A and B are shown apart, each in its own frame.
Chain A
């Protein structure tokens, strides 16, 4: 497996050093250094906002090559719910499943089906009342990363369950082994709508038992798939997930399937940060569930999709409304909670801190405040940092000197 812990890389030739991605980055993880946009990976949450905003296509999401699929004798595809919203005039989701089989996959395990099981497990845990309310969904890996980077005070609210893609991989592997396929022959490929899921699945695989063999890009698979789907007539009834599972592909789908009254769902980088801030001020204490998605509209808004997120959402809703399949349950699959629970909670990151030593951090902060009095506060970005404050913090951390066009003008 091509293990990579970078999900977005820069095509230096295409980068013209404009400040668009730097401004849009929700965690201030980009600087312009020597005229090129540099990602500070320790602050990056892999949300893909820089890919979305780059005008020149210089930000490249990293994912596994489709050729990797061929190297496994028994191949399983894990399509995400959002994939079903990408096709024009699709009136039956079974075409997608047949298309994946025609592409060379031996089996398909829908992530939407795993999502229904995650919903069932969430309901059980919420009934037990052992979770901190409001419970924050952990399905969007960029949100989980953001909380572990900047909102440590909310980390105990995160639902401690693996995301549906991982659960789908675990179940697909279990099923194949039960059918007698040798474990080494099994190749499991998630078809991802976003770089965050590419990153989180690869990272989990590094530290835990291996389930995922590769993570493919939804847009890469799309064109190969459409070609196959066009040749299919009268697809078999293979789809196993229903309304609830397909709904997970857009914002609100997960909350809706939980059947709760008091919940919030919200998407888009700025909006979710607003909700997280309100939560830490104690303003959402009455709510039961908070579903946050970094991409606008939910997973359909991920940068590895082909279709406009709102058009895709409309299509998915129409497809889902026709499905008469009841949501899957843990009992049906003979599973208990331990199948879903995190093996261990991720460690919070300290990269937002000025220093891991409190006294040293205070000294640095005083210096930052001193520099801020000198800087113009216009956040022009000309120094290569997104705001005057981040520039001051960078200088204090690196021990350099302030580099500001406005200050030079004054001289």
Chain B
């Protein structure tokens, strides 16, 4: 069976719309009858990824590919890139500005949470070029 491919533009200027892509994916998974616990993991991991693109990279593209047994999510941006991925993966580490933190974001839990709630995670990042995050979650 082919996969169901859903594509989204993540608007980097708008905090209010951040989460729209994960909301739409969540709705789709529910319509497919994917178990609630899996829907929840996808929702949290994808939402964190989306917010990261808004905070750090002025938005980007999100692609969700749904297979009968899993979902693959690719989040691609052309932002500043991550200089030290190992450090970025540490809980509590954040480069977010005070302004962002005052909104309740930038607690340094984005990437750690994405890792925690996904089965596979891959980060490909080049400073000055951009970042691509791949997440795989099995149902």
Q: Is the CB of B19 within 8 A of A361?
A: no
Residue numbers in B under 8 Å from A358 (CB-CB): 32-34, 68
* Least distance between A240 CB and chain B CB atoms (Å): 41
The count of chain B contact residues (Cβ–Cβ below 8 Å) is 24
| Complex Cα–Cα for A282 and B49 (A) | 13
B103 sits at the interface (CB 8 A): no
Residue numbers in A under 8 Å from B138 (CB-CB): none
Q: Is the CB of B1 within 8 A of A355?
A: no
| Complex Cα–Cα for A282 and B22 (A) | 12
B82 sits at the interface (CB 8 A): no
Q: Is the CB of A365 within 8 A of B28?
A: yes
Q: Is the CB of A281 within 8 A of B33?
A: no
* Least distance between B78 CB and chain A CB atoms (Å): 25
Identify which of B1, B33, B43 contacts A280 (C-beta below 8 A).
B43
**Closest chain A residue, CB of each to CB of B40:** A153
CB within 8 Å: A-B pair count = 63
Q: Is the CB of B30 within 8 A of A152?
A: yes
Interface residue SS majority, chain B: helix
| Complex Cα–Cα for A280 and B4 (A) | 22
Residue numbers in B under 8 Å from A153 (CB-CB): 36-37, 39-40, 43
Residue numbers in B under 8 Å from A369 (CB-CB): 4, 6
**Closest chain B residue, CB of each to CB of A393:** B31
* Least distance between A155 CB and chain B CB atoms (Å): 7
Q: Which of A247-277 contact B (CB under 8 A)?
A: 277
Known interface pairs A155-B36, A354-B32, A365-B28; A281-B4 also in contact (CB < 8 Å) = no
Residue numbers in A under 8 Å from B44 (CB-CB): 281-282
A362 sits at the interface (CB 8 A): yes
Q: Quick one: CB contact mask for B16-40 with A, threshold 8 Å, 1 for yes? A: 0001001100101011111011011
Q: Is the CB of A366 within 8 A of B2?
A: yes
Identify which of B4, B6, B19 contacts A362 (C-beta below 8 A).
B4
Residue numbers in B under 8 Å from A155 (CB-CB): 36
Q: Is the CB of A362 within 8 A of B36?
A: no
B111 sits at the interface (CB 8 A): no
Known: A277-B23, A359-B68. 18 other contacts (CB 8 A): A150-B30, A153-B39, A280-B40, A280-B43, A281-B19, A281-B22, A281-B43, A281-B44, A282-B40, A282-B113, A283-B47, A350-B33, A352-B31, A353-B30, A358-B68, A361-B32, A362-B4, A365-B32
- B interface residue numbers (CB < 8 A to A): 1-2, 4, 6, 19, 22-23, 26, 28, 30-34, 36-37, 39-40, 43-44, 47, 66, 68, 113
- A interface residue numbers (CB < 8 A to B): 150, 152-153, 155, 277, 280-283, 350, 352-359, 361-362, 365-366, 369, 393
